[in-house]
Structure 1
């Protein structure tokens, strides 16, 4: 009998659900927009077996993919495991075989050298496949209609790096997927690959380069001409792993770098510009874009570490105030001979993370951004918590052109998961469409899918879709139109 630890990461709303399900025509309130015809895919870490070492962080749970198929004013639900090599080996053994997060030294001898990916970080549709991503291994690909697993994608052997990002970008002009792979030559190495994949799914570019130091490179930006990569000292090392410490720890003594890497077939170290600034924390990216010789990247920036589960390397206690991030624009000038940033500009005083944009404007000047907001002024039930400890209780819309904002609060006993923008039509103006997102109903131990008018979030959801099971706190997800994924209207199961 499975006995999960009696710890915050495995009890209450965080209790592993381990549910595969098909549910047709979920009950809903309000009106599901008639123009929505496609599917919202999202992923949650969901441990198949109790942790091998007795307890674990949520980031090490197995990937469980949820699909909300929206069509004809209704929503159909399907949920399936991302069946990684780890999942299959542990299923066969009937127990956990892989140990601590990104620490192969803690694994059972029987699985030494196997892919450790949990495929639990992002669910992404590209080239007719569902990509289940975890950045410590190649991406896992699945059938977007049946949600059956194909296997890890190595592009017919063309991919020579060992890892693939959990945050790829789609160039709106070429249709190419742009990706990185950090620790490309092995765990804790400073080698990174930059890759581009054609709309047909062929790896057409793989460029190797080195970064100033090894760290978690969870996200990045692109412009029409450049890959824009921020290096922030959530650092790791074999020494940490040998001591049994968490893989990553935050070092407040180290500088932050921004790399501007040309997007072309031949790149040397001399072609890459590295700019440097004082210490701070930044993980996710709104967007990046060029303006003459200047390159901008917009990130939620905090004065100090935002992840308590990756503690300070010198033992300083976690500081949630210093770990509060706000939208910030970093600007560098390629015409400058200096390694200094040209400007660092606060875009909003709202505290938040999980930023999203209208993805049709990836790498281009843009106007709108959405993020999950931490609004400390709102009342909250003391039982509400998330896997990160962040109280993500509101949705925020930023209008970067006018400087105005909108906010929507989800209530004292609920929290929100990452928003996803869906354009009203292929050619709709920027921001015209909907936000789809999961709401955690903590007091009811279940979830809702919310649909909001993307440019009028203050009026609240236009539809609330009741999910009769509890969706664990998820990470990232994306939308795909029906014609991208082989889903016919009214089809629940293939």
Structure 2
């Protein structure tokens, strides 16, 4: 009998779900627009078996991919395991064989050397394939229509790096998928690969480079000419793993870097510019763009670490107030001769994370950004359902052109998961479309899927879709039109 630990990581809203399901025509309130035709894919970490050790962080759960297919004013639901090598080996054994998060020293001897990826961080459609992503391994590919797992994508052997990002970008001008892989030559290494993949799925570029130090490189920015990569000291090492410490820990004494990597075939380490600034925390990226010789990189920035499960390397306690991140513009000037940033400009007083844009404008100057807001002024009766532990209780829209804000509060017994923008049509103006996101109903241990008019979020959802099975917290997700995923 599966007995999960009686700990916060496995109880309450984090109780493992482990449900594969097909449900047609989910019940809903409000109106799903008739012209909305496509699927929202998202993924949650969901452990197949109790952990090998006494407890585990939520980030180490197996990937469970959900699909919400909108068509004809209705929404159908399908959910399937991302059947990684880890999932298959443990499924056959009937128990957990892999140990702590990114620590192969804690694994059963029978799985030494196997790929440890869980495919639990992002669900991304590209080139007619569904990519289930975890940044410590190659990308797992699934069929977006059947949701059957196909296996790890190594591009016919052309990919020589060991890892592939959880946050790929699509260049709107070329249609190429742009990605990185950190720890590319092995766990805790300072090697990074930069990839470009054609719309047909061919790996057309793989370039290797070194970074100032090994750390979690969860996200990045891209412009027409550059890959823009921030180096923030959520650091790791083999020494930490040998001591049984969490893979990552935050070091408040290290400087932060912004790397500007030219997107061309002949790029070498000497072509990369590394700009340097004082310590801070930043993880996700809203967008990046070029204006003349200057590069803007927009990211939620916090004074200190946002991840309590990756503690301070010097033993300082987690500081929740210093973990509140605010959207900030990091600007560097490629015409300068030094390493200093040109400017660091906070763009809002609203604390928020999980930033999203209208992805059709990736790498271009954008006007609108949506985020999950952490508003501590609102009444709170129940907490939970967030990836990092902080309360995500509002949807937030920032107009970067006018400075205007919009907010929508989900109530005192709910929390929110990452928003995703859906364009009204392929050629609609920026921001013309809908926002879709999961809402955690903490009191009832269930979820709703919410649909908003993207530029009028303060009016509340235009449709609330009931999900009759439990969803755990999810990390990231994306939308694709029906004709791109074989559901037309």
> How far apart are residue 174 of structure 1 and its match?
0.1
1:350-407 Cα shifts (integer Å, max 9, x gaps): 0010000000110001100000000111101144453421100000000000001000
Equivalence for 1:492: none
Provide the C-alpha distance between the structure 1 equivalents of 2:320 and 2:459, rounded to a whole number of angstroms.
Answer: 30
1:323-363 Cα shifts (integer Å, max 9, x gaps): 11000000000000010000000011100100000001100
Equivalence for 1:280: 280
Tell whether the 8 Å contact from 1:384 to 1:413 is kept in structure 2 after alignment. Answer: no
Question: What are the residue-to-residue correspondences of 1:74-89 with 2, within 5 Å?
Answer: 74-89=74-89
Tell whether the 8 Å contact from 1:14 to 1:387 is kept in structure 2 after alignment. Answer: no
SS of 1:230's equivalent in the other structure is: strand
Matched, 1:296 2:315: no
Gaps of 5+ in 1: 489-494
Tell whether the 8 Å contact from 1:233 to 1:256 is kept in structure 2 after alignment. Answer: yes
Equivalence for 1:357: 357
Equivalence for 1:491: none
- Stretches of 4+ aligned residues off by more than 3 angstroms: 382-385
SS of 2:301's equivalent in the other structure is: strand
Equivalence for 2:134: 134
Q: Report the number of matched residues.
A: 488
1:142-169 Cα shifts (integer Å, max 9, x gaps): 0000000000000000000000000000
Gaps of 5+ in 2: none
> How far apart are residue 464 of structure 1 and its match?
0.2
Provide the C-alpha distance between the structure 2 equivalents of 1:197 and 1:287, rounded to a whole number of angstroms.
Answer: 20
Tell whether the 8 Å contact from 2:386 to 2:416 is kept in structure 1 after alignment. Answer: no
SS of 1:483's equivalent in the other structure is: helix
Matched, 1:381 2:376: no
Provide the C-alpha distance between the structure 1 equivalents of 2:108 and 2:385, rounded to a whole number of angstroms.
Answer: 32
Equivalence for 2:346: 346
Equivalence for 2:487: 487
Provide the C-alpha distance between the structure 2 equivalents of 1:317 and 1:387, rounded to a whole number of angstroms.
Answer: 19
Alpha-carbon spacing, 1:384–1:111, altered in 2? closer, same or farther (3 Å): closer
> How far apart are residue 258 of structure 1 and its match?
0.2
Tell whether the 8 Å contact from 2:383 to 2:391 is kept in structure 1 after alignment. Answer: no
Provide the C-alpha distance between the structure 2 equivalents of 1:237 and 1:144, rounded to a whole number of angstroms.
Answer: 36
Tell whether the 8 Å contact from 1:158 to 1:203 is kept in structure 2 after alignment. Answer: yes
Equivalence for 2:122: 122
Provide the C-alpha distance between the structure 2 equivalents of 1:333 and 1:12, rounded to a whole number of angstroms.
Answer: 48
Equivalence for 2:108: 108
Question: What are the residue-to-residue correspondences of 1:316-327 with 2, within 5 Å?
Answer: 316-327=316-327
SS of 1:2's equivalent in the other structure is: coil
SS of 1:295's equivalent in the other structure is: strand
SS of 1:310's equivalent in the other structure is: coil
Q: Which moved more, 1:264-273 or 1:222-231?
A: 264-273
Equivalence for 2:12: 12
SS of 1:26's equivalent in the other structure is: coil
Tell whether the 8 Å contact from 2:24 to 2:76 is kept in structure 1 after alignment. Answer: yes
Question: What are the residue-to-residue correspondences of 1:89-488 with 2, within 5 Å?
Answer: 89-384=89-384, 386-488=386-488
> How far apart are residue 455 of structure 1 and its match?
0.1
Equivalence for 2:22: 22
Provide the C-alpha distance between the structure 2 equivalents of 1:108 and 1:118, rounded to a whole number of angstroms.
Answer: 16
Provide the C-alpha distance between the structure 2 equivalents of 1:208 and 1:317, rounded to a whole number of angstroms.
Answer: 37
Provide the C-alpha distance between the structure 1 equivalents of 2:38 and 2:484, rounded to a whole number of angstroms.
Answer: 8
Equivalence for 1:73: 73
What is the aligned-residue RMSD (CA, Å)?
0.6
1:220-246 Cα shifts (integer Å, max 9, x gaps): 000000000000000000000000000
Provide the C-alpha distance between the structure 2 equivalents of 1:332 and 1:387, rounded to a whole number of angstroms.
Answer: 31
Tell whether the 8 Å contact from 1:248 to 1:310 is kept in structure 2 after alignment. Answer: yes
SS of 2:484's equivalent in the other structure is: helix
Tell whether the 8 Å contact from 1:9 to 1:387 is kept in structure 2 after alignment. Answer: no
Provide the C-alpha distance between the structure 1 equivalents of 2:120 and 2:361, rounded to a whole number of angstroms.
Answer: 26
Provide the C-alpha distance between the structure 1 equivalents of 2:159 and 2:387, rounded to a whole number of angstroms.
Answer: 33
